C-alpha cells in the first residue's frame, strides 16, 4: 500500500524542526546521544610520556607535552557535528586549543599546503591546511564542560566541525605538514577526500567496499 510506503519513508527520515532544518545536511538524521565510532582499541597512556609532535614542512620540528598544551590559550566552541554514517548532533560544547594557535608556535615552510593528522592506533586523516585555520577548528580535551571520555578521544582529539566527523581524529599524536596531498585511512578506503557534509561528499567512487563495523554504532556515551 502507498500509505505504508509513505509511513516508512517518514520513519526513515524523521521530521526536523523547520527552524533547525538548515543546520541538518542532506541525508542526515538528528540524534541527541553521542555515538562512539572508531577502528581498533581505545588507547591508554602514561601522560608523563605522552607527546604531540609537529613535523614535516616546518623549519624546526616541535614536540609538546600535555602540560605545555594546557598552558596555551583555551577556547570554548559550541558546534554541530555530522558523521558519514548519517547521524548528526547539534550544539556540542568542546573546549581545547585552537589548531591555528598551536600552529603559530612553529614556523611553517611556504610549500606546506596539506596536513596529515596522525592518531592512535594507526589512524590518519588528511586535510588541506586552509581547512584547519578557522576559528572553529580545535584540539579538544573537553566536551560538555567535562573531560572528554577516553572513548571520545581523551587526551586530545581534533574537531573539524564543518567536515564529516572521520576527519576529527581521536587520540591525536602528530601533525605532519606536507607540500603534496596524500590520502589518510578512510580516504584510502573509499571515503571522499574533501568530506563536506552539505555537499554530501561521502564516498570517492561507486560501490566501494566499506568495512561492516564502520556502519555499526558500537555504543553511546
Ligand X SMILES: Nc1nc2c(c(=O)[nH]1)N[C@H]1C(S)=C(S)[C@@H](COP(=O)(O)O)O[C@H]1N2
- Per rule CB under 5 A, is residue 166 in the interface with Mo ion? yes
Grid cell in block for residue 117: 593528522
The contact mask relative to ligand X for 75-94 (x = CB under 6 A, - = no) is --------x-----------
- Per rule CB under 6 A, is residue 152 in the interface with ligand X? yes
* β-pair partners for 158: 139
How far apart (Å, rounded) are the C-alpha atoms in residues 151 and 114? 27
| Residue nearer to Mo ion on the CB measure, 37 or 172 | 37
- Of ligand X, Mo ion, none, which one sits near residue 35, judging by CB under 5 to 8 A according to partner kind? ligand X
- Per rule CB under 6 A, is residue 192 in the interface with ligand X? no
Please identify which residue in 25, 29, 35, 101 interacts with ligand X, judged by CB under 6 A: 35
How far apart (Å, rounded) are the C-alpha atoms in residues 124 and 106? 21
Which run of H or of E encompasses 111? Answer: none
How far apart (Å, rounded) are the C-alpha atoms in residues 104 and 19? 38
Please identify which residue in 64, 94, 99, 171 interacts with ligand X, judged by CB under 6 A: 171
How far apart (Å, rounded) are the C-alpha atoms in residues 105 and 54? 10
Interface positions with Mo ion (CB under 5 A): 37, 83, 166
Amino acid at each position: 500500500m502507498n500509505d505504508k510506503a509513505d509511513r516508512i519513508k517518514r520513519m526513515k527520515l524523521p521530521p526536523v524542526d523547520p527552524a533547525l532544518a538548515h543546520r541538518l545536511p542532506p541525508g542526515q538524521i538528528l540524534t541527541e546521544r553521542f555515538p562512539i565510532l572508531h577502528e581498533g582499541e581505545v588507547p591508554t597512556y602514561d601522560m608523563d610520556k605522552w607527546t604531540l609532535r609537529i613535523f614535516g614542512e616546518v623549519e624546526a620540528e616541535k614536540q609538546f607535552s600535555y602540560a605545555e598544551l594546557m598552558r596555551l590559550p583555551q577556547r570554548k566552541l559550541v558546534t554541530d557535528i555530522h558523521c558519514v554514517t548519517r547521524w548528526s548532533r547539534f550544539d556540542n560544547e568542546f573546549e581545547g586549543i585552537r589548531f591555528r594557535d598551536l600552529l603559530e608556535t612553529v614556523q611553517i615552510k611556504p610549500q606546506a599546503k596539506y596536513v596529515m593528522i596522525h592518531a592512535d592506533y594507526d589512524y590518519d586523516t588528511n586535510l588541506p591546511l586552509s581547512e584547519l585555520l578557522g576559528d572553529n577548528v580545535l584540539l579538544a580535551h573537553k566536551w560538555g564542560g567535562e573531560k572528554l571520555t577516553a572513548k571520545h578521544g581523551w587526551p586530545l582529539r581534533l574537531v573539524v566541525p564543518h567536515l564529516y566527523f572521520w576527519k576529527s581524529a581521536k587520540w591525536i599524536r602528530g601533525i605532519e605538514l606536507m607540500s603534496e596531498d596524500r590520502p589518510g585511512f578512510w580516504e584510502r578506503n573509499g571515503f571522499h577526500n574533501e568530506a563536506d557534509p552539505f555537499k554530501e561528499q561521502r564516498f570517492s567512487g561507486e560501490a566501494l567496499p566499506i568495512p561492516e563495523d564502520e556502519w555499526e554504532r558500537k555504543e553511546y556515551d
